[in-house]
Amino acid sequence: MSQPYPYTPQPPPAGPYQPPAWPPAQRGYAPPPPRGRHHIGLIVTICVLAAALIAGGGLLAYSYFQPKDDPIAPVAPGMATTPQAAVRGYLRALAASDSAAALSFGETTPPDTTFLTDQVLAVLNANGPITSINAVKDPSSTKTSALVDATYDMGGNPIQARFQVDLMGKYYKIQQVAAAVDLEGAALPGIGLKVAGVDTSYVSAGYVYMFPGVYPITLENKLLELTGDTEFTITDPAAYVAPNITVALADDAQAAFAAATTAALKSCITEKTSLTSCGFGSTLGEDNSTGQLIIPQDGTVKWALAKGSSESFAKDTFVWSADNPTMATAAINVNLDITFTANNGHRYSGTYNLYQATVDFSAPDHLVATILSS
């Protein structure tokens, strides 16, 4: 502030009193700032206001031209105009068992579509239908790339999942619409192992792709049982899933295999051939005295249990392996006596040891036993 003007007292005037002139002089008055500084401040103020107006206008224009999201409006397949609509359309397509529509909301189609069918979706919806779908865009999203948080019920269970959605041309697409699932452990041909009604025999290695849902695992062969998962759930299409699919012999399988082997042995020892349909025996023999090969003549052969041997295999253990899923094998120890007439006209006798029994149970109601000998 400038200093006040100096004040010097004056002697009283002679004569009558005269009032001071109006208006009185102002004390302590600070002169206005220089004109140049005031002009610059005005220019800055105008620029700030202009920038604010431009930014506000741009924001209004962006908001005006952005499609409004309507959570109840239908979404045409593959034509979502907002990120939320893409996720809602996808989940609604799953709920409607429409695999083509669900795939249309994805950026790409997975390389394997064996499980991406209407039939599989129908099984999933019967097992755990998708309802109460809601989708909200994350505030960090941009116009071209968004995160969408979805909530929905699957079979009455609340599910939360996050989807990455990108603008592809005119429409928004979900980065991944099917989860990668490891089904290598389910590659067991011939036993009727199915996931959501699809036979898994074809799976050789790697993984397949599946939509979200509750997947039942079933096994048709009654002599086997599931010892791991009987179902598994996929909630996130961007996840990698490895269900625990393990199989073992059923409780009554051992008795069934033993009975089948006994029945086969009883039938085969009545055959009049040196090489039986069960697999034991041979077509050639050897004369122990001369070392010459001899050929048993069919129709002259007689088989019989050796002393101390039994036709029962109830105490033997049949072992199953995923490497050969329709076979069970047991180590056995049975001796059979054989007598026959050879091609040289001489009568011979000998003993065969039965050491292994294998049962083919690919048709569990018609078991086939093979018995090997030495």
Q: In 3D, which of 244, 235, 159 has the Cα closest to residue 195?
A: 244
| CA dist., res. 238 & res. 234, Å (int) | 10
**Peptide bond preceding 237: is omega within 30 degrees of 0, i.e. cis?**
no
| CA dist., res. 102 & res. 198, Å (int) | 19
235 and 258 housed in the same domain: no
At which of 161, 178, 195 does a domain end? 178
Asked if residue 15 has pLDDT above 80, the reply is no
260 and 304 housed in the same domain: yes
Chain position carrying tokens 């009283």: 12
159 and 184 housed in the same domain: no
Chain position carrying tokens 């068992």: 97
Portion of the chain with pLDDT greater than 70, in percent: 82
Query: How would residue 292 be classed by pLDDT, with cut points 50, 70 and 90?
Result: confident
3-state secondary structure string, 229-244? CCEEEECCCCCEECCC
Query: How would residue 205 be classed by pLDDT, with cut points 50, 70 and 90?
Result: low
| CA dist., res. 322 & res. 131, Å (int) | 39
231 and 264 housed in the same domain: no
pLDDT of residue 34: 43
Taking a C-beta distance cutoff of 8 angstroms, is the pair 177, 170 a contact?
A: no
pLDDT tens, position by position, 61-105: 444 445 788 988 999 999 999 999 999 999 999 999 999 999 999
263 and 273 housed in the same domain: yes
Q: Is residue 270 part of a domain?
A: yes
At which of 135, 154, 178 does a domain end? 178
Q: Is residue 25 part of a domain?
A: no
Taking a C-beta distance cutoff of 8 angstroms, is the pair 177, 102 a contact?
A: yes
Q: Is residue 297 part of a domain?
A: yes
**Based on the structure, what is the number of domains in the chain?**
3
Query: How would residue 57 be classed by pLDDT, with cut points 50, 70 and 90?
Result: very low
Higher pLDDT, 80 or 292: 80
| CA dist., res. 71 & res. 84, Å (int) | 8
105 and 195 housed in the same domain: no
Q: Is residue 12 part of a domain?
A: no
Q: In 3D, which of 244, 59, 222, 216 has the Cα closest to residue 122?
A: 216
For the chain, what is the mean pLDDT? 85
Q: What is the pTM of this model?
A: 0.76
Residue 108 to residues 112, 168, 214, 282, Cα–Cα distance (Å): 12, 11, 23, 61
| CB burial string 70-100: b at 16+ within 10 A, e below | eeeeebeebebbbbbbbbbbbbbbbbebebe
Average pLDDT over residues 341-370: 96
| CA dist., res. 369 & res. 122, Å (int) | 40
174 and 185 housed in the same domain: no
Q: Is residue 109 part of a domain?
A: yes
Taking a C-beta distance cutoff of 8 angstroms, is the pair 38, 46 a contact?
A: no
151 and 198 housed in the same domain: no
228 and 283 housed in the same domain: no
| CA dist., res. 59 & res. 76, Å (int) | 29
> Bridge-partner residues for 303, per DSSP?
338
| CA dist., res. 77 & res. 102, Å (int) | 8
Output the CA torsion 26→31→35→38 (10° steps): -100
174 and 184 housed in the same domain: no
Angle (deg, nearest 10), helices 83-95 and 118-127: 80
Give start and end residues of each alpha helix (H) in the chain: 35-65, 83-95, 99-104, 118-127, 253-268
Q: Is residue 191 part of a domain?
A: yes
Asked if residue 20 has pLDDT above 80, the reply is no
Q: Is residue 268 part of a domain?
A: yes
Q: Is residue 129 part of a domain?
A: yes
Higher pLDDT, 324 or 287: 324
Give residue 172's domain range.
83-178
DSSP letter, residue 115: T
Average pLDDT over residues 361-367: 97
Q: In 3D, which of 217, 268, 269, 211 has the Cα closest to residue 237?
A: 211
CATH of the domain at 153: 3.10.450.50
| CA dist., res. 374 & res. 370, Å (int) | 14
CB atoms within 10 A of CB 250: 16
In sequence order, what DSSP letters do the residues of 308-362 get, joined into one string?
T--S--TTS--EE-TTSTTEEEEEEEEEEEEEEEBTTS-EEEEEEEEEEEEEE-S
At which of 145, 178, 211 does a domain end? 178
117 and 139 housed in the same domain: yes
Q: In this structure, is the dihedral angle defined by the CA atoms of residues 83, 87, 90 and 93, taken in order, positive or negative?
A: negative
324 and 243 housed in the same domain: no
